[in-house]
Amino acid sequence: MSDQSTNAMVELIKVSKTYRPNIRALEDVSISIRSGEMVFITGRSGAGKTTFLKLLCKMELPTKGLVEIDGLDIRKMQGKRLSLLRQQIGVAYQDFKLLTDRTVAENISIAMEVSYLKQQIVRKRVRALLEELDLSDKHSSMTGDLSRGEQQRVALARAVANSPKLILVDEPTGNLDATSTGLVMDMLAALNNSGATILIATHDHTIYRDVDHRLLELRSGQMHQLRDGVMQ
């Protein structure tokens, strides 16, 4: 593990991503995110926010440039090393990627089961997360039957379940009312306070308006810093 205050958790140097046939999603993005930081990334639809997050967990490979997570070149991560890295990166996907024919509890458990946590611990953690996100009564519901807003929170619960050191959240509040949004942001703030590095891609200015974290904007594939953050 790297030294929290000095080392970068995320390091991108001159990263470009071009999708076939010729869609430039990211262009020459260079950015360094320190371990323990919380960063908001905004930008219009299609600006490349999701692409940016996908590069960090090797769901996509950069067309050009260097992507490093915690000092490790993502290109060189393969097989078991990649798996272990992914166990430490929690991702709440914009499209959720939930298993609709499994219960809420099962969906959240998956992230912990792959690192062989004891069932006892898994069950306890699932209950705590559901409690925190006001979903306790959905514990055994089929995930496909939930509302969009509920599914969104389940996706977030799964992302943070395994206590990852890097949390990537793509549009976490799109379907949520103000109260639920508050719950979600409180949870992320608490995780950040206990050391997790958190990147949040969002359109929702209400969630970054009143906090003093770093704010980035993607504009047609290029990264601009709108506001410098204050490390907590």
* CA 162 – CA 156 distance, rounded (Å): 11
Q: How far is the CB of 156 from ligand ATP (least distance, A)?
A: 16
| 165 lies in the site for another protein, by CB under 8 A | no
Which residues of this chain interact with ligand ATP, rule CB under 6 A? 19, 23, 25, 43, 45-51, 94
Helix (H/G/I), strand (E/B), else coil: 154: helix
| 231 lies in the site for another protein, by CB under 8 A | no
| 53 lies in the site for another protein, by CB under 8 A | no
b/e sequence 28-55, b meaning 16+ C-beta within 10 Å: ebebebbbbbbbbbbbeeebbbbbbbbb
* CA 151 – CA 124 distance, rounded (Å): 20
Six token digits for residue 180: 């639920």
CB burial of residue 72 (10 Å; 0-12, 13-18, 19+): middle
Q: Which of ligand ATP, another protein, Mg ion, none does residue 23 bind to, with CB < 5 to 8 Å depending on kind? A: ligand ATP
Q: Which of ligand ATP, another protein, Mg ion, none does residue 87 bind to, with CB < 5 to 8 Å depending on kind? A: another protein
Q: Are 189 and 207 in contact (CB under 8 A)?
A: no
Q: How far is the CB of 191 from another protein (least distance, A)?
A: 17
Q: Which of another protein, Mg ion, ligand ATP, none does residue 180 bind to, with CB < 5 to 8 Å depending on kind? A: none
Out of 59, 190, 226, 231, name the contact with another protein by CB under 8 A: 59
| 118 lies in the site for another protein, by CB under 8 A | yes
Q: How far is the CB of 97 from another protein (least distance, A)?
A: 6
Q: Which of ligand ATP, another protein, Mg ion, none does residue 86 bind to, with CB < 5 to 8 Å depending on kind? A: another protein
Q: Cα(first)–Cα(last) distance of the chain, in Å?
A: 20
> How far is CA 144 from each of CA 4, 91, 224, rounded to the nearest angstrom?
39, 19, 38
| Nearer of residues 51 and 109 to ligand ATP, judged by Cβ | 51
Six token digits for residue 101: 């024919």
Binding site for another protein (CB under 8 A): 57, 59, 79-80, 82-89, 91, 97, 99, 110-111, 113-119, 158, 162
